[in-house]
Amino acid sequence: MPVSNIQNRHFILITTMKKYILNIFKGAGMGAADVVPGVSGGTIALITGIYEELVDSLKSINLAAVKTLFSKGISAFWAHINGWFLVSVFAGVFASVFSLAKLLETLLEQYPIMVWSFFFGLIVASALMILGKIKKWNIGKIIGVIAGTIVAYMITVLSPAQTPETWWFVMLSGAIAICAMILPGISGAFILLLLGKYAYIIGAISNLDFEIIAIFGVGAIVGLLSFSNLLSYLLHKFHDLTIAILSGFMLGSLNKVWPWKEVLETYTDRHGEVHPLIEKNIMPGAYETTNGEPSFVLYAVLFMILGFSIIFIFEVAAKKLSKS
């Protein structure tokens, strides 16, 4: 074989390996985002330039892919679904999720006001950023924002913090939450917050509870494959209306992540630990009186500003990358 051909193949191999290694880091960014309520893994995919390839690759896992597997073999099937791309991205996602889960669980236990304040700022900024992407407003989009806000608010008010811990609800939570990974502007962690399963799933991951992780994972796979086509269709055919509803959904969810709460009822989980069941939002002053603990208002405001700022840093970075 000529030396030039060997050099070309060597160059292609190195370039391909660099690409997949870079995809792992991009996937890690997506995983880190989806662990935090308010930042979307889809947003990170958009910023890092892999969003369209991710959606198209997920859509390709269908009956045509199965037919390709049986008619043309594994290699053709793997090429059809862009297999190495998906493996590299999701390897980064899973590595990031498992490494950050324990840290977030510890932070929520020791610094709840600061953490929830940070989440609050993230969600406010994410909603405003999404609303800013709507070019032309009409009555339908305004109604979409209002409807999304009301629905999310009612969920946070009417649904107690404790939802079923049965296998089917954990699986359903995985199916719904995973869809956010390919939808810019709304995170899987945010969905888990609304479903009352954020702390539960984070705890299962940090404690390596493989039964819960497996059930949640099955739901996630089913949800991802089932809804990727639907989400892609909605974003392409009804983009602004879909974005308007999602932004309203995020605004309504702010009731859930308000940092200062009064616990009205508690429950004991299967490990004997006591957790809040029903909570009421209160002002910082009332928090100090009711709970006998400092409200950390100054720190809370600083963390809200930090969370708010991060989203707009992502937005600036996205614009620079798109221009380049």
* DSSP count for the chain of H helices, then E strands: 16, 2
pLDDT of residue 39: 61
Q: Which of helix, strand or coil describes residue 271?
A: coil
Element (H, E) at 72: helix 63-72
- Domains of the chain, by residue range, sit at 3-323
**Segment 219-229, tens digit of pLDDT:** 988 888 887 77
Specify the 3-state DSSP secondary structure of 261: strand
Looking at residue 257, its pLDDT comes to: 81
Model confidence at 241: pLDDT above 80: yes
In DSSP terms, 267 is beta-bridged to 275
Secondary structure E strands in the chain: 261-268, 274-281
Share of the chain above pLDDT 70, in %: 82
Q: Letter for the amino acid at 217? A: G
Q: How confident is the model at residue 191 (pLDDT cuts 50, 70, 90)?
A: confident
Question: Average pLDDT, whole number, for the chain?
Answer: 81
Residue 282 exposed, middle or buried by CB count within 10 Å (0-12, 13-18, 19+): middle
Q: Of 69, 67, 87, 57, whose CA–CA distance to 228 is shortest?
A: 57
- In the structure, what pLDDT confidence band is assigned to residue 128 with cuts at 50, 70 and 90? confident
> What is the model's pLDDT at position 186?
63
Higher pLDDT, 88 or 267: 88
Report the predicted TM-score, pTM, of the whole model to 2 decimal places: 0.66
Is residue 288 classed exposed, middle or buried when 0-12, 13-18 and 19+ CB atoms within 10 A define those classes? middle
Q: How confident is the model at residue 8 (pLDDT cuts 50, 70, 90)?
A: low
Which position has the higher pLDDT, 160 or 124?
Answer: 124
- Asked whether 182 and 45 are in contact (CB, 8 A), the reply is yes
User: What is the band of 198 on the pLDDT scale with cuts at 50, 70, 90?
Assistant: confident
Q: Report the SS3 class of residue 280.
A: strand
Candidate ranges 28-37, 101-110, 186-195, 236-245; pick with highest mean pLDDT: 236-245
Q: CB neighbours of 13 closer than 8 A, spacing ≥ 6?
A: none
Q: What is the mean pLDDT of residues 216-237?
A: 82
Q: What is the dihedral sign for C-alpha 151, 59, 181, 140? A: negative
CA 223/CA 278 separation, integer angstroms? 29
